[in-house]
Chains A and B, each alone.
Chain A
C-alpha cells in the first residue's frame, strides 16, 4: 500500500481555501519577521548583517506578507474543546485567542489553551518513528504492522487491544467502532488518570446511568462549591468564571451580587474568591453534604446535632431561599457519594434544568475506566494480549501504582504507542509513532456541553507524524485515508446531528462544511438536555468523621501541568500556581497547624509512606488547608517529558492506588534529609495593613458608596512640580475590576505569548528574576486559621507622573503623546534605576540572555510585531503597544478614529471575566472612561501621586449576615 501521505491537507481559512506556504517562504519568514528577534546594539556605528528576501514563487491567494491571518479551530484540552481563533503569520500560528461564538470560550481563553501553541512548537516533540529504541520510518512501521495484523485479522482481532484516553471526538469514536465491528474479538480500553471517575460513579449512583453535568452559573444566585475549583480549573472553567462574574458586576446603583460558599480541603483560587470559605477534611465531605441534604429535606435522616450546624443551618436557609437559582458543585476529585448527594441536592432544589444541566455523556463510551484498565492489565499479564495499540496517554507513568502497568507491558509480545512525545510509555513499547498536534491536522472535538468544533490545521505537520484516526484506518482499509478524508466522510453522514437538516447533496454539504469550519463550531451541535428523575441520595454512614484519624493524603491534578501531559511546556512550568505562587515544582501542602504538629518547616523534604510505597517531596505550608490534610498535585517527577519537564517536582503516582484514586487516609510522614528550595514568585502574602487591594462587603457600598475615596483619596492635580501632560488625540488607560478577577492566570500566559516574554528557569525564579510583565498578586486576609485571599493583576501602571521616566539617564523610558509609558529596549543601557524607582515593581530586567535565539521551532512562535529583547535591557508591560499602533494605522488608513473596544490588550482578550478593560480615556463614552467614573475606582499607591493610567475597582464581596454572626 502507498505510505500515508503527509501535508496533503490544505489550510482552510474562515471561508475559502488556499495553498500552504512553501519551504522558501518559511525561511523568508525568518528573514523578514523572525529577524525581529535580533536586537542590534549601538546606533549607526554597527552595520547590520546583510539580509535576504525570499519571495513566494506562487503566492497563495489572499495572502499579504505582513498581514496576519486568523483561523477558527479549537484547543483540545484534556480531550475537551475550547473554541479558539489562531493568529498566523505566513502560515505560522503565533497566538491563540478565544472564539466569541464558542460556548466554552465566549472570546476568552483558559491557561491551557493559551499555552497550547507552545506545545505545538515544543522542540522535544517526537520527530521520528522509533522501533526498539532505533530510529525507523513510517514505511517500515506500516509494512511491519500489516504483517502483525494478518494473524489478528484471522482471529477476528483476538489479542488485539486498544488503549486510549477518554475518547470524546465523535469521528475518532466512529473510527474505533468500525475497528471493533471489523474485529469483534478486539477490546478497547480507556484510561485517564485525572478524569471524572467520581462524577461517572456518582451519576450512576444517583440516576442509575451515566450523565454529563454542567452548570449555568449566570442563572445562579447562590453557589456552593464542595472542594471544586470550578473558576480556575476544568474544561468549562473559562465559561463558569465568565458566568460567575456576570452576576457580580456592581455598577452605580445596581448592587445585585451572587453569593459563593466554598468548602475546601485545600485552598484554591475559587476558595479564595468565595464570600464564605470553610476548610474541611476530604473524608468529612460526605457527612457535610449528607447533613446539608437532610437539612434541606433532600433525603437522609435529619442530622442529630450536626457538627457543621453552624454552617449547614444558614447555608441551607440560603439555598432554600433560592430554589432553582442555586448550584451545588462537587469537586471532580471528590468521592462518588458526594457527587451523588450533590445531584440529589440540585434536583430537589429544582436546580436541574435551570442552573444545572444534564446531558448524555460527552464521551463516546462511558465506563468504569479503572475496572477497564484493571482488566487490561490482568489480560496483559496472563498473555491474552498479543498486540497492544496505545493511542495517546502515558499509562506507564500515570497508571495506579498497584496495577504495575509497566510490568504487564513488558509481557506484551508487541506494543505500539502513538504520542506527541516519546515518553515513559514509549520507552517500554516496541514501536513509538509521532502523533500530530491538533493544530497540525484535521479532527473534531466536543466542548463541555457537547458543542462540536471541526479542528482545521494551522500549519503542515512539523515532523512526519499522524493522527490516531489515520493509524486506526490502517486496521480498516488500504490504502488508508487521511484524517481529512476520514473526518469529512464521518460528517457527510452525521451533518444532521447538528440539529440541522441532513445535506441533500455534495453542494449543500460543502457549504455546511465551510460554515462549520469557518465558524469554529457546528451550529446546534450541543447535546440536548435530559431531565433526570429526582436523584436518590446515597446513605452516608453517620460516623463522626473525627474518628477517622491520621493524615489524609489528597491527590489533585495540577492546575497547569494537569496529569503531567503539559510537563514539558515551559510557560506552564513557570506560571505561578494560583495561591502558592510556586513554579517549576509540586509540593507537599499542609496548613501551618499541621506543620507545627509534625514539627515540619517550609521546604523541608518529607517522605510520604502508604501501602508499602513511598515518595519524597518538599513541604509547602499553605494556610487555609484542612487540618491533618496533605495535598499533592499529580503530573510532576517526569523522567521522559523533555528538557523542561524532566526532574521537575516529584511523582506522586507511585503512591496512588487504583482503589483510592483521590485520597488515602492514614498516610505516614517522616522527614527525609535536607530541604529543597522551592521557587515562589511571591514570598510575602501579608498586605501589612497597606490599602493596596481594597475588598469590602457590598453592604458597605450600599450604605456608603464613597467609602473607597476615603480609604484612598486621590491627590489633587496641581500637587506636583512637573508640568501636566495634555492629550490631543488618544489617552490610553486601563481599569481592572477586582471583584471580577478569579486568579485564573490566563492573562499572564496570554501576555507571555503575545509579547515574546522569555522563560528563565527555576534558578532564576529563585533569585527573583521572573520575567512576567503581568503578575497576579495574592494576599491572605481574614482569620489566619481560615484565611480568604485577595487577588490583583498588576501590569505596568503607565503613570502620568512616572517615577521611572525621571531617573533614566538615557531617555530609554519616556512618556508618549498618547499617555503610554514607552520602554525603548534599544536605547536602554541597563542602569536599572527605573526599576528601583518603580513603586509597583513591574519592571523586568534581562539579567542574562533569556530569549532563545537559536531553537528554530521556538522562533516560529515569536510574535513578529514585538522585539525579542536582548541581554542587559529593561522591559515591562507596554499595554500591547504593537496592537495599539496596528489599530492606529488601520483606522488612519480608513480615515477614522479607533472604536471603543477595537483594541484589546492580550490580557484583556484572554480574561474570562472581563475584569480588564482597556481604551481611550479621552472619550468619556468609552467603557474604560465609564469604569473610571465608578465610585469604586481607585489608584494603587495614590498617595505617591504617580497618577497611574491603570486603576482598580475595589473588590466587593457578598457575605451572608447569618453566617457572619457565627464566625
Chain B
C-alpha cells in the first residue's frame, strides 16, 4: 500500500501541535484579561439612576460638601444615601417644578423611597467601614474619584482585592491630612513620600492585612 501521507504531513502536524499549545495559552490569557477588565469590573461605567442626579453639578458646580448628603460617613460604616427630605431642603424652592426633580417630589409626596442603583458594589462577604477610613485620612476622591466631574456617578477604581490591599499595605502612599479628606480639589503633593510617612505616624495608621480585617 502506498504511503498515504504527503511528505508535508509531518510539518503540518507539527504546526497543528504548536498551534494547539499556543491556542490554549491564549485562551487562558484572554480569560485572565477579561476577568480584570474595566468592563467586567464595571469600572468607569456611568450607571442609570431614577433621578438624573449629577455630582458634577452639585459638588463641582454648587460646591456642596460631601457630608451635606452623606451624613453618617464619619460615624457609621455606611455613608448613607440622602433621604428624600434632604433633597427637598433645596428642591422645595429651587427647580421646584422642574420635571427632572419630579421623582424626588413624588417620593416626598407618596412617602415611597427613591430606588437608587448601587454604584460601588462590594461582595457581600466584604465589610467596609467609611468612618475609620475617613478618620485615618483617606480622602473621598481617593476611592470615589473626581465625583465633582461625574454627571452620572460611576465606579472609579477597579475594586479588586489587590486594589484594596495596595493601600492597606502602603497607606503612606495615599493618606492625606484629615483637613483635606473631604476636598475634591486636593492633589497628591510632590512630597507625599515624606508627608505620607509622617501622617501614618501621626494618625497611628496600621497596615492591616489580616483576612478578618474585611472578611467575617
Contacts and interface: CB of A to CB of B under 8 A. Distances in A.
A28 B78 CA distance: 13
A50 B81 CA distance: 17
Contacts of A32: 78
Contact of A37 (B124, B131, B209): B124
A625 to B, nearest CB: 44
Interface in A805-843: 814, 816-818, 820, 822, 824-827
Nearest to B39: A47
B40 A50 contact: no
Interface in A30-57: 31-32, 35-40, 43-45, 47-48, 50-57
A59 B81 CA distance: 11
A729 interface: yes
A64 B71 CA distance: 9
B125 A36 contact: yes
Given A45-B35, A64-B76, A882-B216, A57 B125 contact: no
Nearest to B40: A47
Given A826-B123, A892-B136, A55 B210 contact: no
Contact of A47 (B42, B82, B114, B212): B42
A24 B124 contact: no
A895 interface: yes
B206 interface: yes
A88 to B, nearest CB: 15
Nearest to B84: A57
B55 to A, nearest CB: 15
B84 A66 contact: no
Nearest to B132: A889
Contact of B124 (A39, A822, A882): A39
A814 B212 CA distance: 9
Interface string B59-99: 00000000000011001111011111100000000000000
B10 interface: no
B114 A35 contact: no
A294 interface: no
B211 interface: yes
Contacts of A24: 111-113
A889 B116 contact: no
A428 interface: no
Interface string B37-58: 0001110000000000000000
A164 B211 CA distance: 54
A601 B176 CA distance: 73
Contacts of B115: 52-54
B127 interface: yes
B118 A66 contact: no
A913 interface: no
Contact of A65 (B78, B136, B210): B78
A25 interface: yes
Given A865-B127, A889-B131, A881 B212 contact: yes
B216 A881 contact: yes
A57 B112 contact: yes
Nearest to A24: B113
Nearest to A67: B76
A347 B124 CA distance: 61
Contacts of B160: 44
B123 A48 contact: yes
B185 interface: no
A965 B69 CA distance: 77
Contacts of B127: 865, 882, 885
B90 to A, nearest CB: 16
A172 interface: no
Given A66-B77, A885-B216, A816 B210 contact: yes
B211 A825 contact: no
B208 interface: yes
A630 B213 CA distance: 53
A818 B206 CA distance: 12
B40 A878 contact: no
Interface in A7-38: 22, 24-25, 27-28, 31-32, 35-38
B107 interface: yes
A893 interface: yes
Given A44-B40, A889-B131, A892-B132, A36 B124 contact: yes
A822 B212 contact: yes
A817 B113 contact: no
A523 interface: no
B8 interface: no
Interface in B100-149: 107-108, 111-118, 121, 123-125, 127, 129, 131-132, 135-136
A885 B212 contact: yes
B215 A44 contact: no
Contact of A55 (B35, B83, B123, B212): B83
Interface string A59-81: 10000111100000000000000
A866 interface: yes
Contact of B123 (A31, A40, A895): A40
A465 interface: no
Interface string B193-210: 000000000001010111
Contacts of A44: 35-36, 40-41, 160
Contacts of B22: none
A543 interface: no
A55 B112 contact: no
A867 interface: yes
Contacts of A54: 113-116
Contacts of B209: 817
A57 B113 contact: yes
Contacts of B112: 24, 57
Contacts of B27: none
A25 B81 CA distance: 12
A174 to B, nearest CB: 38
A893 B121 CA distance: 25
B132 A39 contact: no
Contacts of B125: 36, 39-40, 825-826, 867
A264 B84 CA distance: 65
Contact of B215 (A28, A47, A824, A889): A824
Nearest to A52: B115
A878 B212 contact: yes
A58 interface: yes
B25 interface: no
A873 B18 CA distance: 40
B83 A56 contact: yes
A820 B211 CA distance: 10
- Give the one of A56, A57, A729 with max B CB within 10 A: A57
A729 B36 CA distance: 35
A892 B132 CA distance: 7
B210 A822 contact: yes
Nearest to A893: B135
A882 B126 CA distance: 12
B117 A52 contact: yes
B161 interface: yes
A481 to B, nearest CB: 27
Contacts of B77: 66-67, 889
B85 A893 contact: no
Contacts of B107: 57
B135 A59 contact: no
Contacts of A55: 80-84, 113-114, 116
A57 B115 CA distance: 11
20 contacts: A40-B125, A44-B160, A47-B40, A50-B118, A50-B121, A52-B115, A55-B81, A55-B114, A58-B84, A64-B76, A66-B76, A817-B209, A820-B212, A822-B210, A827-B215, A866-B216, A867-B216, A881-B212, A885-B213, A889-B77
Given A53-B116, A822-B212, 6 more contacts: A36-B124, A50-B121, A51-B118, A58-B85, A814-B210, A826-B215
Interface of A: 22, 24-25, 27-28, 31-32, 35-40, 43-45, 47-48, 50-59, 64-67, 729, 814, 816-818, 820, 822, 824-827, 865-867, 878, 881-882, 885, 889, 892-893, 895
Closest 6 CB pairs of A and B: A66-B78, A24-B113, A816-B210, A66-B76, A54-B113, A56-B83
